[in-house]
Amino acid sequence: MATGKIFQSLSGFYDVHSAGKIYRTRARGNFRKRKITPLVGDDVDFQIEDGDKGYILTVLPRRNELTRPPIANIDQAIVATAATQPEFSSNLLDRQLIALEISGITPIIYFTKTDLLSNDQWQSLQKIAAGYRQIPYEVILPEQAFGSASLAKLRQLFANKENVIMGQTGAGKSTLLNHLAPELALATGEISTALNRGKHTTRKVALLKVNDGLIADTPGFSSYDTLTIDYRQLAAYFPEFKRAAVKCRFRGCVHVNEPDCEVKRQVHDGQIMTSRYTNYLQLYTDIKNRKPNYKK
Ligand SMILES: Nc1nc2c(ncn2[C@@H]2O[C@H](COP(=O)(O)OP(=O)(O)OP(=O)(O)O)[C@@H](O)[C@H]2O)c(=O)[nH]1
Ligand SMILES: [Zn+2]
């Protein structure tokens, strides 16, 4: 028996790195019955067969996991966020940040396509970036797309860590990775100008070695699932709300209708971004009104 890490998954095969070698494995038949799906990033025990093939016996306990993209045991996520084309959506960004907070993965917000912005758009994006930095999140807003300063910053942030790059279809994930590590030569998509939407160029999740870190390129998404948390927990995944909440009059304040709510006060005073609060209220309502029988 050997132990290794799944670095790629495609059509039922899991490619595993173990002691400097690569093995193409399959999951054991009883995994499906037990509703276990091995994920890229998983550490596994596997049985070697025919030299470089094998089958997975056990998925070792996970530190964390994400469903979108499907990956496990990640330290940090680079949230590739298009400044335009597709248009910047604070709602989509906040949903991704919440999913990461829930999984205990550190987000890094990286704005792509800043070269396509007008002066006015650039100014307003700078304000947005400053707002996210106050939360505080690490934000990289390249003055020059793929400029050496922002690439160096990213390299420094993800050295010696397991990272994932996530984001909407066409956000520029593969393009960014190609700039970080040109030897990867990942396929990138021409954006469909008619729809202003990317074309889903990346179809699989793969963990790649880039400099001193590991980074997973992942397929983009065009929508994001409803969160499977209790609506009363939602505010805990907004770090700036959580900080303010200790001063709300009521313990368990959900910052909606309660009097003397510090979160609402800080929104009013401009310390908390209005867009974050609006997105909070929308998600809160969505989660509260969704049909029961959600697990977790
Ligand atoms: N002008 C400009 N174009 C960019 C930038 N980043 C990416 N693009 C373009 O945007 C399109 C989509 O880029 P990809 O890297 O394929 O996007 P992706 O996020 O990997 O897309 P999926 O694999 O479908 O999820 C390509 O045509 C890129 O050349 C950027 O910073 N500036
Ligand atoms: Zn409150």
Q: Tens digits of per-residue pLDDT, 25-45?
A: 999 877 877 888 999 999 999
The CATH number linked to 274 is 1.10.40.50
Nearest one of 177, 207, 166 to 6, comparing CA atoms: 207
Q: Say if residue 116 is in the same domain as residue 92.
A: yes
Q: Say if residue 35 is in the same domain as residue 84.
A: no
Q: Which of 46, 61, 76 is the last residue of a domain?
A: 61
Distances (CA, A) of 111 to 3, 144, 160, 171, 231: 37, 11, 23, 9, 29
CA distance 217 to 192: 21
* 3 state SS of 70: coil
Q: Which of 45, 61, 77 is the last residue of a domain?
A: 61
Rounded to 5 degrees, what are φ and ψ at 8? -160, 145
Q: Say if residue 135 is in the same domain as residue 79.
A: yes
Q: What's the one-letter identity of residue 170?
A: G
| pLDDT at residue 292, as a whole number | 63
120 belongs to an annotated ligand binding site:
no
184 C-alpha vs ligand 1 centroid, how far in Å?
15
Atom 14, ligand 1: residue with shortest CA distance: 172
Tell me the residue range of the domain where 279 lies. 231-289
Q: Which of 10, 36, 61 is the last residue of a domain?
A: 61
Q: Say if residue 56 is in the same domain as residue 158.
A: no
Tokens matching residue 85 = 């084309």
CA distance 226 to 247: 29
State which ligand 1 atom lies nearest to the alpha carbon of 188: 16
Band (pLDDT 50/70/90 cuts) for residue 203 is low
Quick one: average pLDDT of 53-68?
Answer: 93
Band (pLDDT 50/70/90 cuts) for residue 212 is confident
CA dihedral 54, 57, 61, 64 (to 10 degrees): 50
**Does the structure show a pLDDT above 60 at 56?**
yes
Helix extents (H) in the chain: 30-33, 90-103, 119-134, 148-158, 173-180, 239-245, 262-268, 274-289
**Does the structure show a pLDDT above 70 at 198?**
no
What is the 8-class DSSP label of residue 41? T
Q: Say if residue 102 is in the same domain as residue 53.
A: no
User: Could you check whether the bond before residue 136 is cis, i.e. omega within 30 degrees of 0?
Assistant: yes
| pLDDT at residue 72, as a whole number | 95
pTM of the model: 0.90
69 C-alpha vs ligand 2 centroid, how far in Å?
32
The CATH number linked to 130 is 3.40.50.300
Determine which of 72-86, 100-114, 164-178, 260-274 has the lowest per-residue pLDDT on average. Answer: 164-178
Q: Which ligand is located closest to the Cα atom of residue 257?
A: 2
171 belongs to an annotated ligand binding site:
yes
Nearest one of 118, 121, 106, 119 to 166, comparing CA atoms: 106
pLDDT digits (tens, 9 = 90+) for 107-130: 999 999 999 999 999 999 999 999
ipTM over 0.90: yes
Q: Which of 87, 146, 175 to mutate to test the pocket of ligand 1 (most atoms within 8 A of CB)?
A: 175
Nearest one of 90, 87, 142, 137 to 109, comparing CA atoms: 137
Domain count, the chain: 3
CA dihedral 12, 80, 61, 15 (to 10 degrees): 30
Tokens matching residue 127 = 């304000």
4 C-alpha vs ligand 1 centroid, how far in Å?
32
**Of the ranges 6-15, 82-91, 284-293, the best mean pLDDT one:** 82-91
Q: Say if residue 124 is in the same domain as residue 179.
A: yes
Quick one: average pLDDT of 260-280?
Answer: 98
Quick one: average pLDDT of 146-163?
Answer: 92
Region of 148 on the Ramachandran plot (φ > 0 left; ψ -120 to 50 alpha; else beta) = alpha
* 3 state SS of 120: helix
More confident site: 214 or 25? 25
